[in-house]
Every structure is written in C-alpha cells, then in structure tokens.
Structure 1
Amino acid sequence: MRKGRGSEGGRGVEMAESKRVLVVGGSGYLGQHLLDGLLAADSGTHYDVAFTYHRPTPPAELVDALPSLIPFRVDLRTGDGFDSISNGFAKPHVIVNCAALSIPRECEDDPAAAMANNLPTSLINWLSSFEDNNTLLLQLSTDQVYEGMKSFYKEEDETAPVNVYGKSKVGAELFISSHCSNFAILRSSIIYGPQAVSPVAKSLPVQWIDSVLSRGAAVQFFHDEFRCPVYVKDVVNVILALTRKWISGDEQMKLILNVGGPDRLSRVQMAETVASYRGYNHSLIKSISASSVNRGVVSPADISMDISKLKQVLGISPVSFRDGVRLTLETDA
C-alpha cells in the first residue's frame, strides 16, 4: 500500500484509491499535452483525469483520442460549472490551472478581461468550499512577471512587470499565495513543441519560424529580446513530478519555480536554430531591434531565467532548444 490522500481524509492515510487530477483549461495547448502525459504516466499511481473547457463543446479530437477523460464546461469568470465537478468528479487531489488570457496585446487592449481571466478567483472560491485544504494547486505563471532589465532572473528577484499580462499574473500569484494552503507557481517561458492532439488555432513558435523561412523570403527577427524557451514535454514532466511529489509526501508545499529551457536566446538565435536544422539559408534572417516595432504593448527585453532551483528540487534538466526543435519538427512530420 502507498501513502495517499482521501477526498475527505488527512495526509498520510493508507489508501489504494485512484488519484484525481483536474486540469483547468485542458483544451488549450499545454493542457492537451498535460492530459496526454497524465494518462500515459508510468508512476505506479492511477490518475482519474478531468479537464475544463470554455467553448460550447469539448474538442472532439481530444475526447476521441483520450476517451477516459472527463470533460466539464466551466466559466472561470463566474464559476459556473464547478458544482458539476463536485457532483461528477469530487474533490481533486491536484488541480493544474493552465487557463489564461495569455496574448500580451489582447491583455493590453482589455485589462479588465485579463484580470477576470487570469486571477483564479472562482477556482479558489470553489476549492475553499471543501472542508479540507489538502488539494495541491499548480498554477501556470509567466516569465513576464519580471521587469526584463537583466539576465537570468531568480525566483526571489522582485516581480516588476511592464505590461498588463505580467501584472495579471503577478496578481494571480499573490492571490494564490494568500488563499491557498498548498501550491506551486510555475513561471514558464515561451512554451514550444509539437502540435496538440486537437490542433490549436494560435501560432506555435517553432512551426511559425519554420513556415516563414520555408517560403524563401527574408524575415525580420529581434536580436535584443531574450527568453529561455522551454519544450512542452519538459513542462509536462515538471507538473508530473510535482504531482508525484505531492501524492507520495507528507509535507506542505509552497513553491515558486522558474520553468524555462537551458538556453538564453534572442528571436534571431531561435530562427537560426530552426534554419540550421532545416538547412535554410541564414541570410533570410534579418536582425532588427525590438524597439523599432510598435506592437501595441511593452515587451520586456531580457527575462531569461535561472533554472537551478528547478534542477535542485525536481532533478529535471530541460532539453536544449536545438534538441527541442528537432523533437518538435520530427514529431509533427
């Protein structure tokens, strides 16, 4: 028998039951990859997995490919739909919140919508309705909580976002820290990787670079905006590791982790990596300054992150961008 948690019991009780994981925003890009990873996990623990979606119906391709999933339609702004989870799934042992309005320009254009979507008020209120506080909340945050004035930010560095998207995510972090007994906040950089089971409409970074360079025309990329792009399977592995750690352990969890790849890269360097893998002419890549383009939103210059804490706490070393590009394009092919 292994240690676990009952839906109403305390920590450390001997249980043989399945563990319930709820992925909020499971129909999105990361959410779909995570759902696949949870059902394929070989950890000795069986996961009953549910997910929320906001569109009228869940993605057909996702439900067909992973028929054991339990979908729930939820409006995160109002909280409508959470009662159906209580009745049809019960209290989760782990909740992963992937839902967000994450396009900085859209957040800048509609700050009220950004705050309403990105502050998980209704989710926390629902979680607080249960008698016990023994659910772990894993919250996806962003590298854009940092100001962008230096390289390799650490988790303890000040959060000073320069745009509405970053401010909404800082607000979410503070809200969770003050209202949740157990949580892990994952500050992710640009997430890239293969297309999801049910293809998402948004442009995926590596696929977009590959597409524009394949046309043989010159394309402009920023040389002075730095990120630590992270392979989607590595983000999934981080979440799976934290889930296992929570289910098997007895201690509280209050954790903030930078979740980025090992490489500090400009957009030019990202494009050069794709070009090298595909054999495209590097002369197609035209280097320009981010300051020369008005994107309608302030974008931090350098929000590269130090991921030594991630390696220390979980023993996970994300793949290099070069290897991630190869895995992405090989998988999509």
Structure 2
Amino acid sequence: MSKKRLLIVGGTGYLGQHLLQSFTVHSPFALAFTHHSVPPPHALLDAIPHALPFQVDLRSGDGLDAVSHAFGQPDVVINCAALSVPRACEIDPEAAVSVNVPIALVKWLSSFGESNTLLIHLSTDQVYEGTKSFYKEEDETVPVNVYGKSKVEAEKFVSENCPNFAILRSSIIYGPQTISPVPKSLPIQWMDTVLAKGEALNFFYDEFRCPVYVKDLIKVIDALSNQWISERKQLQLVLNVGGSDRVSRAQMAEAVAHARGYVTSLIKPVSASTVDRGVKSPADISMDITKLIQTLGISPVSYTKGVSLTLDEACS
C-alpha cells in the first residue's frame, strides 16, 4: 500500500519547520512542503531529506501544478502560510488578504475532483474582539484589526469551499527555536534575553492570551491527520487551540524570570493603552479549549511547564 501524502504549506516558517521535523521522525506520510521566495535553508533540507520542496506563490497559485505532477493529490494539507504580523497587515491590507485568504490553494485542491483531502487551516485568536475572557468557538468573530479581519475572511472562504476542513484558532505559539532559525523574534527566547541583561522593561498587565506550546499544537494536527486517514469521515471543524492558562504579557515574562531565577522587579507592568503600536490590539482574547479537549482528548501543558520545556531545550 502506498504511503499517504501530506503537504505543509509554509514549511520554512516557525510552525512549518516544527511540523516537518515531527513528521520526519515518526510518520506514515510521504512529505512535501512549500516555500515562497528564497530557497529552503540547507540546515532544514539536511534534516528532512525525504521531504520534497516546492516553490509556490499562494497569491497566484504559481507552483501548485508542479506539486500535482511531482507529488500528486495530498491526503492532508496543513496551511501554515500567513502574513501574521498585525502591523504589517495594517500597512498593506491588500497583501494581508491576498496571502491569508487561501483562494488559489483551495481552488487547486478542488481541481482534483474528489474530496479526498483534509485541509487543516491555521487561524488565530485575533478573530475575537477581546472584550471578555475565554471565547468559545461559536462566539461572534469581531476582529479589531486587519490581520484578524483577513483571517475571518479566510475561515469563511475555507468553510464555504472545502468539503473537509479543520480550522485551528491558535493563540501565540511558543517553544524551541527551529532547525533553521526563523528571522522573527520568539517570545520566550526574547524575554529570556532581555531579562538576562538585568535591565527593567515594560510589559502589559492588561492584555491577555492563552499561549500554546508548539508541540501541543503539533499533537492536535497529528491527531486530526491520523483521524482523517483512518476514518475518512467528512470533517468540518473549528477549534480553539490555546494553552491551558490565561496570562498577561507581564505574567508571561514573570514565568520566564521564575524559571531562570531572574529578578522579577525588572518587569514593570504597564497598560497596553499607554503604547501606540500602529495597530489596534484586542485586550483579552483568551480562549475556552473545552471543545479541543473533548474532541481530541488532548490537554495542553501549563504555560509554566511549556516555558520550562522551551528553556531546557535551549540549554541542551
């Protein structure tokens, strides 16, 4: 029996690299991934020798035909590709929509005719307005910035045009650095670096998230992929994928300080309203993850545990 095929869209990003690494180690899948402009780094290619790389422009769909010819119809597609920096989306809303709403990808999948592919699409907690705690999946999505609006539009497009999908509303993703380090700053590593310098720094005490440890997010994606392969039952699912704790930015930093033994007085709590970041940011988009736990039986680690695991791996 031939191997099932799994395609990671946006394989050179933070989550994409972690997924490739995980599926390379223990997976029943034949692997392929897409990247956008630059060639994939050698360190990544060396670590995943059996995964096929494809250069694809998601805005136009250029490159997807090459995937069809060399790899075939995937059984599972994981779409991690996004313009995910809220300020960049605010500056160029057109680019945000063209990248974040996967029109070309979904049209390509529909070209195969049969609905034998599961699309796992990464969304965000920023689809919520941020005026209360612990949002549920059925709560109204009222995003306050362009990034959130583009992701709501993406969810709508996927749910209306894909017969089989799982939309994962992820919070801040944190964890170890990737095989080939990503250019963006990673939250735990950044906090560790600035606190290690012994300099006082401001952190918001009134902006709340449910950060999710990257390996928990991978467990969710792995479970959904395997469930689809084994059962082939139509799936139309929206899940909040956050960690188990609602924490402020200041509490996030305090956990890093405690884990490392830094002086917590370096963390100066300030209100998010005192800083102009060039983009509106929702105050409290913490998420209720009851549906995740009930549907897949996966309970994410606590934030403090995730911080310890991240820092331990950085030292090893």
TM over 0.5, yes or no? Answer: yes
Match of 1:206 among 178, 188, 194: 188
Consecutive unaligned residues of structure 1, counting only runs of 5 or more, are 1-15
Cα distance, 1:56 vs structure 2: 2.8
Structure 2 distance, partners of 1:288, 1:166, is 24
Alignment-mate amino acid for residue 31 of structure 1: G
SS at match of 2:33: strand
Match of 2:16 among 31, 37, 45: 31
Structure 2 distance, partners of 1:56, 1:31, is 15
Alignment-mate amino acid for residue 220 of structure 1: N
Alignment-mate amino acid for residue 206 of structure 1: I
2:99 is the alignment partner of 1:117: yes
SS at match of 1:140: strand
CA deviation string 1:216-246 (max 9, x = no partner): 0100000000000000000111000000110
Summarize the alignment of residues 105-184 of structure 1 with structure 2, pairs less than 5 Å apart. Answer: 105-184=87-166
SS at match of 2:139: coil
Cα distance, 1:250 vs structure 2: 3.5
Structure 2 distance, partners of 1:74, 1:27, is 12
Over aligned residue pairs, what C-alpha RMSD do you find? Answer: 0.7
SS at match of 1:187: strand
Match of 1:295 among 274, 277, 283: 277
Scaled by the length of structure 1, the TM-score of the pair is 0.94
SS at match of 1:244: helix
Cα distance, 1:269 vs structure 2: 0.4
Structure 2 distance, partners of 1:169, 1:292, is 27
**Residue of structure 1 equivalent to 2:5:** 20
CA deviation string 1:164-221 (max 9, x = no partner): 0000000000000110000000000000000001100000000000011000010000
Alignment-mate amino acid for residue 75 of structure 1: D
CA deviation string 1:127-146 (max 9, x = no partner): 11112111000000000000
CA deviation string 1:30-86 (max 9, x = no partner): 0000111112236xxx21000000123112110011111100000011110000000
Cα distance, 1:301 vs structure 2: 0.2
Structure 2 distance, partners of 1:179, 1:86, is 20
Scaled by the length of structure 2, the TM-score of the pair is 0.99
State the identity as a percent: 64
**Residue of structure 1 equivalent to 2:63:** 81
Consecutive unaligned residues of structure 2, counting only runs of 5 or more, are none
